[in-house]
Structure 1
Amino acid sequence: MAAEDLEWERSKISNQDVNLLKRLGLMKKEDAIRFPSEESYPTPPMEYRVSFVDHLIRGLSAPIHDFLRGLLFVYGIQLHQLTPNSILHVSIFITLCECFLGVPPNWALWKRIFCLRRNGSHNATYNIGGVVICVRSDVDYFDVKFPDSVQGWRKRWLYIHEESANSVEHNIVPFDGSAKILRRRSWDAEASEEEKKSTEALMSRIHQLQNTRGKELSGVQITAYFLRIRVQPLQARKNPLWTYAGANDANRLSNDLSVKDLEKLIRRISSLNKKDPIPSSCRVEPYSSANPLPENHPTVASLPPLPEDGEVEERAIVTDDNQEAPSFVNEPVDSRKSAGNSEVSSAQSPPPAVSPKGKRKRNDVEDSGTSKAEEVDPSHQKATYDPYLESLVSSMMRKKYELSTWLPYEHPMIKELIRIGSQFIGYREYANRAEEKLAEANKRANALAQKLEQSEAARKKAELVASEAKAEADEAKAKTARVEDLQKRLEDAETALNEHKAAQADREQGILKRLKSQSRRTQNQTNQEFDLENPDNDPLLDALSYLELHGAEIREGVANASAGLSALFPYFFPKKEEPPTFLALAKSFNSSEDLGLKMRQENMKIAVESTVALVADSQQTVDWMKVGDTDQIEQSRWRSLIKAAKPNTKKILAYLGIKPASTPSSSRPEV
């Protein structure tokens, strides 16, 4: 089984993805995005194209930019066949051209830098994301830092509204999931010598931006810039980015992202981890209304060749018979090193591409903007052969020359007929799908009718069971009539019991209230609080127990304090009578007078008087005037005298009833 048969499955878009699209402003218009319902294969409505969440967050938005539309046409691919990293390559290139080179996206410059490769292995190729945009191996380009893999991006598909242009030929090709990827020679198209010469100044400017020391420009900086200014590079815009006017710019889709959201988004689409810094600004100031282009700066556009007036350029397909074999790569593609800043050198865009002689008239049905009619089978998602469409195309091809002989091919009537025919084919697709859905709805209706019959039978059975239950209930009600008096007496007893319980509860609440009041008074007096937490059985009894326990402790403490104060009272108040109450006793010790100092001074007075008395008893002649003059005694002299007097003081201290200390006192008498 080919890889294309296994690619599409039911879309799985999370609420986080939807919220991100809202913050990015991609859902500002009501019909800008539609999310698939239950389909496992894309069936976009009219004027809608298939895209992916990971394409939109990398700069894609409808209507599609002409440069991307031209790439899809020249390379012969569809939007869903490009990988997310390829989309980011185009966004960075357009931002580089408009913001840092000051020119529209240049097709010749693109061919010098990029080429296309198929994505897959040699045994199978992908349909979704089967084409990869690569940087040429001989080109020095910015380091974009692609992630190693974009997990699950193929499952997050949706529909975007592609606004119709004046001519359907200017819209991108409608979705065709069965279209195979064919490698074309345009994938490896190189710039001509004239184009290389005209873009040499642009390449030199790119090298300057990469290699200017201290002002290097990198792919991550370019990515962060277009995400920060809230302009989608791949959207068709009224003004180029070098005219960006800040918060009031007409091309902005939303307000500035928060720093957290911006960093998270940059890390999601790049290989930066949480430790790598996110650039807050570019090292090179981009062109804008605040930094306008220099005077006489060339801004000539050079877009890929677009289909015009029904004519397309022959796009050769490289088959297995050609010498060039298809190339396969696996995402991500190698990115190139980053770099720096300088002034923009003047450059001229190449002249418009000249169609070769091998031009042919365009198949109006094939490229008119309407996909081939297809029947979608969920189990096998390939378009079936439509003989009507094939005959219509063949007939139009056969009659093309005949039509041109009597009506010009560009005649408005012919174009209108082609447009109506294309729409008719599209409507046939929807009609066929509607018939399938109608058949499925009839099938479901039959199943529901069968279930309705089953539920009706179940209802009748339930009604029979309910009638039997009602009869049994009536019998039970008759039996209960005999016990009505007993029920009344029981209700009276319950009422009395409830009243008794209420009275008892009121009594308990009153007791608890009194206990809490007593607890607050005790706490204010003793700085202690009753512990009434987690009583085992009865809260009232437990509270009384705690109160009794702490009350005993309080009484014992008060008694001890009273006894101690009574013992100390005679020493401090020898001439006073002990107060009769504990409160008065405690107040005696709370006076402002220092009782300890008073007691020591009293003791010193007794000691001095006793010493003088002992000297007088020894009948020694002492000049007490000199003894009393102690102001002239130095501290060292005083200590030596005390030390010499120590042997003679023992007898005096013994007489006074004081046990002498082991060391002499060096303090002066307290006054």
Structure 2
Amino acid sequence: MATKDLEWERSKISNQDMNLLKRLGFTKKKDALRFPHEESYPSPPMEYRVSFVDHLIRGLSPPIHEFLRGLLFVYGLQLHQLTPNSILHVSIFITLCECFLGVQPNWALWKRIFCLRRNGSHGVAYNIGGVVICVRSDVDYFDVKFPDSVQGWRKRWLYVHEESSDSMEYNIAPFDGKTKILRRRSWDAEATEEEKLATEALMTRIRELQSTRGKELSGIQITTYFLRIRVQPLQARKNPLWMYAGDEDVERLSTDLSAKDLEKLIRRISKLSKKDTVPSSCKVKPFCSANPLPEGHLVLSSLPPLPEGGEVEERAVVTDDNQGASRPESGVGGSQKSVASLEKENETEVTSSTRSSLPAASPKGKRKRDETIDSGASKADTSRAEKTAPNAGEKTLDLYDAALISSDDEEEDAPIDETARTSTSRTLVVSEARPDGDETSPPQQNPEHPTPAPFMKELIRFGTQFIGYRDYAGKLEEKLAEANRRADALATELEQSETARMKAEAKAATVEDLQKRLDDAKRALEENVAQHSAREEEILGRLESQSRRFVRRTHQEYELENPEDDELLDALSLLEIHGTEARNGLAEAEAGLSRLFPYFFKKKEEPAVFIDLAKCFTSNEDLGLQLRQEGLKVGVEGTMALIAESQQHVDWSRVGNTGEIETKKWQSLIKAAKPSSKKILATLGYKPAPAPSSSKPEVK
């Protein structure tokens, strides 16, 4: 089957996907995920790998669990080469081991249950999602009810953070979208007899969990459980799931999902229809802090090999021509097919039965295959190899080429993959000697085709490693160039910052001077405010004093109709009222004094200034006495004129001697004269107001 490298397209993660990732808690951890921008081909930053939204919702979360890292190493795969349902298989297996079997994820048990096959359709083997994890045909395992296809999952790619350790070999391989998928022995690796014996109790328990009446456990129940507790099985965790502590567990990514959201998520990753009921709980109570492991429970530990343990024989490449693909080679048009053209195609994964059509592999070291089958090559490939092999008659032979073409002549087993552990970009197939302990006859050597010297194998191995390191060094050079550009930018910013710092230091004295001046201004302002407050209090006191004096003089107190709620302003308003009253009184006083002035001061001119006018009336002289004397003089003169007119005889000498008249007699005379005086005054046109007569006339 031909290999089809699907073209990467720009990631199309919708708002609905973003909201789902947010509800599931993936965006809560800083830098755990990064989303591509406009790039149409993945270019993950340092320490990031390419994954998919459908991987995350099926239990994947950075940093990646040790068991999954081991699987990727042993199978020689990258994350983007596994389908979403394959990721869910691993999640269910880890949850099964930790929650229902009470053991760590067990590599030996995994090999008894699962194997791998190529994924493709219409005679094409994919590279993106090109490997499917499936259940062996002879194993009774949980029916997970996978969907027949996951629509559009290849478009929803993103970057997940893979924490680096001190050794680069400890991490999963960096992303390389052009690395071809090579079928390896580990894809069909079986458990050894010792491993089968050690895991037989676990297999028995799995059968019991499936078949116990009334307590049947299903793959959907296991999936629902790990989605409901919000702990990702494929995330590196401090504690196994049998120590899950409920809502307060430190491994939880988010709070509980609503029943509606959980049901929608389950239906999305399975083929349950709307008519099917989504289980709300497991019929078998899982192990957790509330249901701890029994006392004396044996916790088995068996993990797949990791890169730091060195190469393993199971990683040997069987073939790279995709003989293990799901469909025979036919109908391949040779044109590149984009991801968009595959949206309506099935993944060709295992459906509800999840069974593999591949035959179970024989135990290691006991396979008896012909050279063509062992090498993983087709007959056509074998014939092509025979055509390109050197003729028997040639006397010279390049040792490097001889090492490549003589592997089938030297040993029976398939060649070992010597790919550099730090790179997945290239794979060179070479042969190695059979491991110790395998019984076999020494290979027959052709004298005309000498076997290459042992040091040539070392040279080939070094060359292979050099290729891997060279590719990795090329990537490092690109990242180093990027780092240099960033360093230059940072240097420029640092220079600018240094210039700004020097300017700031140069202005430090000015700043101190300004600060001192500001402090002085603040103190002056405070003193000014204090003086102003004291002045306001003094003014207020004086205004109140003037108001009290005015009230005492006028005997009239005023109240403000609309006070300002300010003592100074209210006192000033009262003073204005008092001033208005004073001005009106002064005007009236001036008018009255002006009218009285001619009567009291006949020979003086009226002063122009009011204060001078007022002083005329405030002298020590009795102005009323003078006026009365003037009036008395007029009256005496008038009386004498009337007596003379009447031609009566009057002894004027006696009239002038008023001292002999007694007061009482004087009063009686005045009283007797009043009727006659009224007539005289009436004749003169004057009607005086009634008033009591005074006693003796005031004669000066």
Task: Tell me if structure 2 keeps the 8 A contact 1:130–1:181.
Answer: yes
Looking at structure 2, the residues matched to 420 and 316 of structure 1 have their Cα atoms a distance apart, in angstroms, of 20
The one-letter amino acid paired with 1:332 is E
Match of 1:175 in 2: 175
- Using the alignment, how far apart are the partners of 2:160 and 2:63 within structure 1? 9
1:629-662, Cα deviation, whole Å (9 max, x unpaired):
xxxxxxxxxxxxxxxxxxxxxxxxxxxxxxxxxx
Q: CA deviation at 1:334?
A: 3.6
- Residues 72-111 of structure 1: pairs in structure 2 closer than 5 A: 72-111=72-111
Match status 1:226 vs 2:243: no
Aligned equivalent of 1:55: 55
The answer as to 2:224 corresponding to 1:207 is no
Work out whether 1:366 is the aligned partner of 2:420.
yes
Question: Partners of 1:401 and 1:128 in 2: how far apart?
Answer: 30
Alignment match, 1:426: 475
1:173 deviates by: 0.7
Tell me the CA shift for residue 317 of structure 1: 1.8
Q: CA deviation at 1:293?
A: 0.3
Q: CA-to-partner distance for each residue in 1:37-68, whole Å, 9 max, x for gaps?
A: 11111111110000000000000011111111
Q: What amino acid is aligned across from residue 156 of structure 1 in structure 2?
A: R
What secondary structure, in the 3-state scheme, does the structure 1 residue paired with 2:118 have?
A: strand
- Taking only aligned residues, the RMSD between alpha carbons, in angstroms, comes to 3.8
Matched, 1:332 2:349: yes
What does residue 307 of structure 2 align with? 307
Structure 1 residue aligned with 2:9: 9
**Aligned pairs (5 A) from 1:525-544:** none
CA contact (8 A) 1:169 1:369 kept: no
- 8 Å CA contact 1:117, 1:131 repeated in 2: yes
From the superposition, tell whether residues 153 and 426 of structure 1 become closer, same or farther in structure 2 (CA, over 3 Å): same
Identity, % of aligned pairs? Answer: 72
Matches within 5 A, 1:15-164: 15-121=15-121, 123-164=123-164
Partners of 1:313 and 1:359 within 8 A in 2: no
* Mapped partners of 1:21, 1:195: distance in 2: 39
**Are residues 316 and 247 of structure 1, via their aligned partners in 2, closer, same or farther at CA, if it must alter by over 3 Å?**
same
- Count of residues in Structure 1 that have an aligned counterpart in Structure 2: 383
Query: C-alpha distance in 2, partners of 1:276/1:314?
Result: 42
- Inter-partner Cα distance in structure 1 for 2:156 and 2:354: 31
Q: In structure 2, how many angstroms separate the alpha carbons of the residues matched to 1:54 and 1:199?
A: 32
SS in 2 for 1:217: coil
1:580-638: CA deviations, max 9, x gaps? xxxxxxxxxxxxxxxxxxxxxxxxxxxxxxxxxxxxxxxxxxxxxxxxxxxxxxxxxxx
| Structure 1 residue 6, shift from structure 2 partner | 3.4
- What are the ranges of 5 or more consecutive residues in structure 1 without an aligned counterpart? 339-357, 373-394, 403-408, 410-416, 437-671
Q: 1:288 is matched with which residue?
A: 288
Residues 152-551 of structure 1: pairs in structure 2 closer than 5 A: 152-308=152-308, 310-313=310-313, 315-319=315-319, 325-328=323-326, 330-336=347-353, 366-368=420-422, 398=459, 425-430=474-479
Pick closer, same or farther for the CA change 1:126–1:186 going to 2, 3 Å.
same
- Which whole-Å CA distance do the structure 2 matches of 1:70 and 1:297 have between them? 26
Could you say if the C-alpha distance between residues 431 and 337 of structure 1 is closer, same or farther in structure 2, counting changes exceeding 3 Å? closer
C-alpha distance in structure 1 between counterparts of 2:126 and 2:461, whole Å: 36
In structure 2, how many angstroms separate the alpha carbons of the residues matched to 1:131 and 1:320? 13
Displacement after TM superposition at 1:275 (Å): 1.4
- Structure 2 residue runs of 5 or longer lacking an equivalent are 328-346, 356-412, 427-455, 486-700
Cα distance in 2 for partners of 1:432, 1:215 equals 61
Residues in 1 aligned to 2:259 and 2:127: alpha-carbon distance in whole angstroms: 37
**Alpha-carbon separation, structure 2, partners of 1:105 and 1:272:** 27
Q: 8 Å contact 1:312–1:362 — kept in the other structure?
A: no
Partner of 1:580: none
Greater C-alpha Rg:
2
Question: CA 1:360–1:305 in structure 2 vs 1: closer, same or farther (change >3 Å)?
Answer: farther
Distance 1:269 1:286 in 2: 22
Contact between 1:48 and 1:159, CA under 8 Å: does it hold in 2? yes
Q: Give the secondary-structure state (helix, strand or coil) at the position aligned to 1:77.
A: coil
What is the DSSP-based 3-state SS (H/G/I as helix, E as strand, rest coil) of the residue aligned with 1:158? strand
Q: Secondary structure at the match of 1:295?
A: coil
In the alignment, which residue of structure 1 is the partner of 2:568? none
Partners in 2 of 1:120 and 1:361 — Cα distance? 26
Residues 398 and 222 (structure 1), Cα distance of their counterparts in 2 relative to 1, 3 Å cut: same
1:186-208 Cα offsets, whole Å, 9 max, x none, are 11111111111111110110111
Change (3 A) 1:362 1:315: closer
Change (3 A) 1:276 1:95: same
Distance 1:424 1:182, change over 3 A: closer
For the residue of structure 2 that corresponds to 1:159, the secondary structure is strand
Deviations 1:65-105 (A, max 9, x none): 11111111111111100000000000000000000000001
Q: Residue type of the partner of 2:324?
A: P
Q: Describe the superposition over 1:164-200 as per-residue Cα deviations: whole angstroms up to 9, x where unpaired.
A: 1222111111111111111111111111111111111
> Partner letter of residue 165 of structure 1?
S
Secondary structure of 2:298's partner?
coil
- Give me the whole-angstrom Cα distance separating, in 1, the residues matched to 2:128 and 2:31: 24
Equivalent position amino acid for 1:102 in 2: G
String of CA shifts for 1:115-167, please: whole Å, max 9, x gaps: 10000147321011100001111111111011121000000000001011222
- Counterpart amino acid of 1:131? V
Residue 425 of structure 1 aligns to which amino acid in structure 2?
G
Is the 1:61–1:232 contact (alpha carbons within 8 Å) kept by the matching residues of 2?
yes
Structure 1 residues 168 and 208 mapped into 2: Cα distance closer, same or farther (>3 Å)? same
Structure 1: how far apart are the matches of 2:210 and 2:225? 16
1:558-577 CA-to-partner distances (Å, cap 9, x unmatched) read xxxxxxxxxxxxxxxxxxxx
**Contact (CA 8 Å) 1:210, 1:218: kept in 2 or not?**
yes
Could you say what secondary structure the match of 2:108 adopts? Answer: helix
Aligned residues of 1:318 and 1:325 also touching (Cα < 8 A): no
Query: Residues of 2 paired with 1:299 and 1:40: CA distance?
Result: 46
AA paired with 1:220? I
Amino acid at match of 2:202: L
> Matched residues in 1 for 2:131 and 2:325: separation?
10
> What residue identity is the alignment partner of 2:227?
L
Is the contact between residue 172 and residue 369 of structure 1 (CA under 8 Å) also seen in structure 2?
A: no
Q: 1:112–1:225: structure 2 CA closer, same or farther, 3 Å change rule?
A: same
Distance 2:280 2:109 in 1: 28
Instruction: Report the AA paired with residue 194 of structure 1.
Output: E
CA contact (8 A) 1:53 1:157 kept: yes
| d(CA) in 2 for partners of 1:42, 1:6 | 13
Is 25-34 or 148-157 further displaced after alignment?
25-34
Q: Give yes or no for contact 2:48–2:159 (8 Å, CA) kept in 1.
A: yes
SS class of match (2:124)? coil
8 Å contact kept, 2:184–2:314 = no
Q: Structure 1 counterpart of 2:421, which letter? A: D
